[in-house]
């Protein structure tokens, strides 16, 4: 949904149905981008509690069947997370199952597209993917190696992107690059000229210090970042858990996309997503977020409220009214 279409979030809360559900199909990646958790050592990943795993189709099917129980369709079902979705052997079947069940207005994949062969493109297009969001890590093979420690055949990569774009039907192709993968203004111009040929939209996004274990130099200077982003407003409340659900590969339901888990709200194999969304654990977490997010050790150090919120999603000025609503919501659910 574009910014022009966004409605101030506080006017919609509490939500009967989350706006989006994020499926993390794999905790695996073939890249090791220097700003990403996959650049950490196995020892560091283990210390974070991060497990390399793949979502079973049984777990996925349970999640989609649960989503069908919500009062409204999702605005977006997004395959993304801490891994490369196209590494999942059943990713096309996953897209098709969600499309066939008509549980979302848009089904989207965020991918590095290194595995987007013509065969994969045909299968995704046939499955009905609505949006393909492609993350670029440089305008040359050398830059890819520097940023992602990946040997990319750039000519083949561009050819594969062109194949998808030329053969897609309704799919929107959005190609983005992170600022630290660009060298200068000329490189920025080169990126736009290269990829507007194979995309409906191209954009530059900005790295934020999302992984605490990584040196901030991997992201650029914080103050410089904020100037580039043009968003100097800091929030005491993270709005993401109020409108999204995240499903980890093992079926755990999480409140956000943080690489450090602030809380496990439930598991799809033990409860339905609707019950979890309306449950006491979720409700108490949201009220904690409204009162003082610093009570949660992960939320206390998370940079998203400082850098990552979209206009219209700031809740600070409405927390008292929202607390009343969430207190009333849980009391009603108990009656």
Sheet holding 76-79, edge to edge: 201-205, 172-178, 131-136, 107-111, 76-79, 20-23, 244-247, 252-254, 266-267
pLDDT in tens, 155-180: 999 999 999 999 999 999 999 999 88
Higher-confidence position of 186 and 220 = 186
- Other CB atoms within a 10 A radius of the CB of residue 22 amount to 22
Contact 242, 255 (CB under 8 A): no
Q: Which helix (H) or strand (E) is 100 found in, with range?
A: helix 91-101
Report whether 114 contacts 30 (CB < 8 A): yes
- Per-residue model confidence as pLDDT tens digits over 306-334: 776 888 899 999 999 999 999 988 665 44
For residue 49, how many C-alpha atoms fall within 13 Å in the half-sphere facing its CB? 8
Beta bridge partners of 174: 133, 201
- Rounded to the nearest 10 degrees, the angle between the axes of helix 57-67 and helix 91-101 is 20
Spatial separation of the C-alpha atoms in residues 312 and 310, rounded to whole Å: 6
Give the burial class of 295: count Cβ atoms within 10 A of its Cβ; 0-12 exposed, 13-18 middle, 19 or more buried: exposed
Evaluate if residue 4 carries a pLDDT over 80: no
143/197 Cα distance (integer angstroms): 21
The pTM is what? 0.92
């Amino acid at each position: 949904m574009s910014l022009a279409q966004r409605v101030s979030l506080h006017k919609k809360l509490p939500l009967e149905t989350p706006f989006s559900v994020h499926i993390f199909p794999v905790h695996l990646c073939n890249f090791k981008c220097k700003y990403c958790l996959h650049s950490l050592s196995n020892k560091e990943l283990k210390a974070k509690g991060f497990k390399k795993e793949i979502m079973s189709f049984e777990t996925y099917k349970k999640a989609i069947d649960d989503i069908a129980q919500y009062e409204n369709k999702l605005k977006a079902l997004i395959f993304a997370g801490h891994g490369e979705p196209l590494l999942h052997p059943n990713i096309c079947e996953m897209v098709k199952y969600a499309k066939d069940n008509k549980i979302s207005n848009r089904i989207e994949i965020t991918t590095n597209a290194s595995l987007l062969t013509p065969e994969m493109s045909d299968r995704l297009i046939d499955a009905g993917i609505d949006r393909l969001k492609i993350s670029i890590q440089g305008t040359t093979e050398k830059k890819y190696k520097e940023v992602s420690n990946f040997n990319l055949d750039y000519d083949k990569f561009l050819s594969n992107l062109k194949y998808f774009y030329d053969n897609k039907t309704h799919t929107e192709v959005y190609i983005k690059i992170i600022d630290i993968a660009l060298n200068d203004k000329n490189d920025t111009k080169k990126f736009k000229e290269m990829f507007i040929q194979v995309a409906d939209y191209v954009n530059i996004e900005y790295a934020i210090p999302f992984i605490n274990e990584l040196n901030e130099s991997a992201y650029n200077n914080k103050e410089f970042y904020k100037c580039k982003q043009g968003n100097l407003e800091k929030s005491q409340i993270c709005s993401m858990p109020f409108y999204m659900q995240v499903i980890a590969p093992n079926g755990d339901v999480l409140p956000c996309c943080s690489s450090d888990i602030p809380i496990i709200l439930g598991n799809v194999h033990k409860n339905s997503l609707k019950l979890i969304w309306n449950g006491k654990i979720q409700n108490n977490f949201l009220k904690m977020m409204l009162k003082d997010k610093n009570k949660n050790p992960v939320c206390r150090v998370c940079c998203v409220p400082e850098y990552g919120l979209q206009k219209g999603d700031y809740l600070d000025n409405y927390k008292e009214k929202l607390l009343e609503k969430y207190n009333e919501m849980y009391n009603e659910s108990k009656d």
